[in-house]
Amino acid sequence: MARQQSGRFRSFAQTPPGKVFLVAVALVMTFASYVYVETLVAIPAMLLFGLAVPIWLGLKAPRFLALSGLVILLLVAPISNLVITQDIMTPVGASASGTALPDGNGGAVLSNAVVSPYVGGASTNFTWTVTVSPQYIPKGNSTPLFLTLYVSTCPGATGNNSPVCTTPYPYYQFNDTSVANITAEANASFHFQIGSVGIWDWQMSLAMRNLSTGNLTYIFLVGDPTYNGIEGPVVGTYWTTYESLLLTIYFDDFLFLGAPFYFVLLIYMILKRRERSRADAVRRAQAPPTPAEAGPSLPSSPGGGGGAAGPPASTAPTVAEGACPNCGAVVYAGEKTCWKCGAQLPSSPTSAPPLTSGK
């Protein structure tokens, strides 16, 4: 029963609806792993469902595999971008600085740092607020000197020449001296109208002076683990944000998903070509010689009774072969589809011509 069901599914996979179904499954699995897990998981998912499963089901034509992979790459980017854009437009929680040395002494010096509103238009006046708690400043430092806000399109940038972004990029820096020399907890805020549509990031720092060296020291908020930046605000609508992200998503898809996919497909094509070459060599070795290859017949015996028989004909079986009606590639008996172009084959290829006896 299991073999019958497997055979039926293999037969279904050979049909146009079956091929569409397989591409759809590969697309869904690649999308889910790319968006909800991570790219490193999406790579094997695409290789499994976009290459291994179709090959196992008999869809071995390189042209079909290459085209199905391209369809997956072209569709997974815009579909994934729908979810990614929504995630970017979802407000992040409040940020704070570290609570352990050297950033804190039992508590966070900077806490409850947020930007409001998180999403706005070019005319929106955004507000950044933070709570400063000088009682948690590590010993050996002065009271606060000034608070700084950094706003940029470069994640985590605290200057206009960050090594993680191509310069130049929009960058704004604001200082607040109202917190200078405070000894009790206080709130501080910044107001700024960005005016440019895009996805922005920000960071804050509190400056103090090291009492031993006299140098300035800074305490920063804890941002994302890669750039130490804090997302927001997003200036623009959902669709302007979607459009700004789409090219980047396509680049990542073709680089991290497409490159491994087509590299493995190339290796598969090379191995199949070698397998075909070996099969052709075995076939030629087993095939009986033609009359021209067998050489001239032996002369008649002196006693007259006719010519002597030539060398005995080979008894090796011939291998039924034929040509693909679509591309002309060599195919063999029992094959249902052409290995090269994927075209459907007749029930059995034309058999090799029978051996002709010499006279």
DSSP per-residue letters across 121-154:
-TT--EEEEEEE-GGGSPTTB-S--EEEEEEESS
pLDDT for the residue 316: 45
13-32 b/e (C-beta count within 10 Å ≥ 16 → b):
beeeebbeebbeebbebbbb
pLDDT for the residue 3: 65
Cβ neighbours around 201 below 10 Å, total: 21
- Residues of the chain with confidence (pLDDT) below 50: 301, 304-309, 313-319, 349-359
- Dump strand ranges (E) for 144-214: 146-152, 171-176, 186-192, 198-209
pLDDT for the residue 356: 41
Residue 128 main-chain phi, psi, to 5 deg: -110, 130
pLDDT for the residue 165: 93
Closest listed residue to residue 257, CA positions, set 35, 86, 19: 35
pLDDT for the residue 6: 67
Identity (one letter) of the amino acid at 124?
A: T
pLDDT for the residue 272: 87
Tokens of 128: 């950044």
pLDDT for the residue 340: 75
Closest listed residue to residue 124, CA positions, set 198, 201, 192, 202: 192
pLDDT for the residue 352: 40
pTM (two decimals)? 0.72
Distances (CA, A) of 37 to 31, 85, 258, 286: 10, 16, 18, 53
Cα separation, 124 vs 192, whole angstroms: 8
Distances (CA, A) of 143 to 60, 121, 138: 71, 38, 10
pLDDT for the residue 314: 46
Asked whether the beta carbons of 62 and 327 are under 8 A apart, the reply is no
pLDDT for the residue 358: 41
